[in-house]
Structure 1
Amino acid sequence: MKKIVFVLLTLISMSACKESGPNNGKLNIVTTTTIITDLLNHIGGDQLNIQGLMGSGVDPHLYKASAGDVTKLANADLIFYGGLHLEGKLVDVFEKMESQNITTIAVSDALEKSTLIGSEYFASNYDPHIWFDVHNWELITSFVVQKLSEADPENAEFYKENGTTYLEELKVLDAEIKGIINTLPKEKRILVTAHDAFNYFGQAYGFEVVGLQGLSTATEAGVQDVQNLSNFIIEKQIKAIFVESSVPRRTIEALQAAVNSKNHQVEIGGTLYSDALGNAGTAEGTYIGMFKYNVNTIVNALR
């Protein structure tokens, strides 16, 4: 990481006049996760040059900046990232960039600290998976509209109109999610996943959520963790557990094997999108499509 920071600062300092990306007069925006990239595309559309660092299925907790990323970051007008140590290995880079007059914006700054879920086991003391409460994403949408309007006042009305349209879509999504979840009996609303990415989802939509790993996938699950969780699954008679698209299957498969070895059958209910969206061009490649897919997968498997 120190090497990446050094390369970044050297690259920036060598360019007194920063070369822009596409030379078309539009703001150059760099985003980290696919979820944030999707949001900027909805609000900014073709009025922005948007480059995302991470692709489908990429784990932001473990992501390391490449040489190409360093160039994108150095040429950005604005950088939007999750914050709360979601992009753990990029934190040093973002902190250094502010001193180089490159604006970095953590979308988590849109939320009051009192509304965040704390954790004594994670470096930031807050759960960074804030997008799994649609209300949080509504607040973040308005925040991003504000930041873009401040940076590009000529197109402020465009951003505000797109933001308003997207907020309406999010309200429809929230209602649809609640309707689907209401078909699942409350006693079956226990979600077991690879890591603790769904706590905001559980808090917002009435699920008990248990992750095999901690909030960051950098935290390894031990043998005792697997045994304890397998006992919990048997005690609660849970029908299905879930893998995640950005986390290796082996941890959940080990959990399934531990449960099955104790004469209780538990199925892998499907793959959920947690820290990254699905492939571009698919429904799951958007925030709204991802959320609908996840909820349908969870409810169908646990029903």
Structure 2
Amino acid sequence: MRRELPKLQMPMLSAVCLVVLTSMVLTQGCTKSSETNSPKKSNSPTTAENRISVVVTTGMVGDLVRHVAGDYANVVGLMGEGVDPHLFRPTSSDIGTLMKADLIIYSGLMLEGPMQPQFELARRKGRTVTAVADGLPKSQVRYPAGLEDHPDPHIWGDVGTWAMSLDHVVQILSEFDPKHADEYAANANAYRAKLMEVHEYAKSAIATIPEEQRYLVTAHDAFGYFSTAYEIPVKSVQGISTESEPGVQDINELVDFLVRNKVPAIFVESTVNAANIQAVVEGAKQQNWNVKIGGTLYSDSLGAPGTYEGTYIGMMDSNVTTIVKALGGKVPEKGLHGKLSLKK
């Protein structure tokens, strides 16, 4: 005989349904709560995948932007070690990189002259394109004699002026990514303090060169800002751009200057062919004055990636230390921070 199961009474059925329903609600509530509290992929550049994409031209600009952006940007440089920005023309791959960037930051003041068409194209495609030099007061920009329509673009030669450009970089990044504006400002201030240490080192070190020997002679006129900031007269074989070649008269006049002032050393540059400097050395020798090559200066590019000289601070430390040693001044053997490689 089949045994029938007892029927549930209505009150008991209601109680069971209430328990089941409550359990379902709590389970769903817990699931939703867990989803809400778990990390979400934000549109803000706080992860490796969401960093701002910034393309820069020179190593000096890249160094500046990286210090301000910190972990919030992926900074890609177009010009590597030893590349002359006056002559650089982007490849099709470089142009593709530019067009994919969120921000394009270049040095400015006509330094990257051949790249102007690509900058304009990027603007038309909606990219933010700006120059570091755009943030400087006009009073800080140098115009060489006879070139009133062509500003000197080598603003990084004066560390104090270069430090002033940090504010513009902060503004650029903060306008694109306002969420991290405070971090950008803090990063800039921390880096500014380090730059000013190098600035003071340059002033005090250059001052140790005997005044009668305090002349800086280089391959091209890339040290005008350096000259003004650190009170050392400068002469060069070429003008502010390397696009034009010096004439015989230019070389002869420089030779006469060296012999007349008994300048002990002149300098080659990492981005400029040394042939013209060698011609000056030979010309001085013919006038019975032996001028030596005092070393290699970093004018328009940083040193090798991954080295101390491959940073802006290392670049300037190297330049100052090399100049002072060669011209008879007093500096630490391995520079301000004791990190120079001395392989020059």
TM-score, normalised with respect to structure 1: 0.90
Q: Per-residue deviation at 1:88?
A: 1.6
**Structure-1 residue corresponding to 2:154:** 129
**Structure-1 residue corresponding to 2:318:** 293
Q: Per-residue deviation at 1:94?
A: 1.2
Percent identity of equivalent pairs = 45
Matched, 1:110 2:135: yes
Distance across 1 between alignment mates of 2:196 and 2:109: 25
Q: Per-residue deviation at 1:159?
A: 1.1
**Structure-1 residue corresponding to 2:280:** 255
Residue ranges of structure 1 left out of the alignment (5+ in a row): 1-21
Matched, 1:215 2:240: yes
**Structure-2 residue corresponding to 1:165:** 190
**Structure-1 residue corresponding to 2:228:** 203
Q: Is the CA contact 2:270–2:299 (under 8 Å) kept in the aligned structure 1?
A: yes
Distance across 2 between alignment mates of 1:28 and 1:122: 36
**Bigger relative contact order, structure 1 or 2 (CA pairs below 8 A, ≥6 apart):** 1
- Residues 51-70 of structure 1: CA distance to partner in whole angstroms, max 9, x if unpaired? 10000111000001011101
Flag the 1:74–1:23 CA change in 2: closer, same or farther, 3 A. Answer: farther
Q: Per-residue deviation at 1:115?
A: 2.2
Helix, strand or coil at the partner of 2:49: coil
**Structure-1 residue corresponding to 2:297:** 272
Distance across 2 between alignment mates of 1:23 and 1:171: 31
Q: Is the CA contact 1:122–1:215 (under 8 Å) kept in the aligned structure 2?
A: no
Flag the 1:204–1:190 CA change in 2: closer, same or farther, 3 A. Answer: same
Query: What does 1:63-142 correspond to in 2, within 5 Å?
Result: 63-119=88-144, 124-142=149-167
Query: What does 1:20-39 correspond to in 2, within 5 Å?
Result: 24-39=49-64
Helix, strand or coil at the partner of 2:74: strand
Distance across 2 between alignment mates of 1:87 and 1:71: 17
Superposed CA RMSD in Å reads: 1.5
Q: Is the CA contact 2:206–2:232 (under 8 Å) kept in the aligned structure 1?
A: no
What is the letter of the counterpart of residue 213 of structure 1? Answer: Q
Q: Per-residue deviation at 1:97?
A: 2.4
Q: Per-residue deviation at 1:112?
A: 1.5
Query: What does 1:229-240 correspond to in 2, within 5 Å?
Result: 229-240=254-265
Equivalent pairs, count = 282
**Structure-2 residue corresponding to 1:4:** none
Runs of 4+ with >4 A deviation: 120-124
Q: Per-residue deviation at 1:95?
A: 2.6
Residue ranges of structure 2 left out of the alignment (5+ in a row): 1-46, 329-344
Q: Is the CA contact 1:245–1:272 (under 8 Å) kept in the aligned structure 2?
A: yes
What is the letter of the counterpart of residue 226 of structure 2? Answer: F
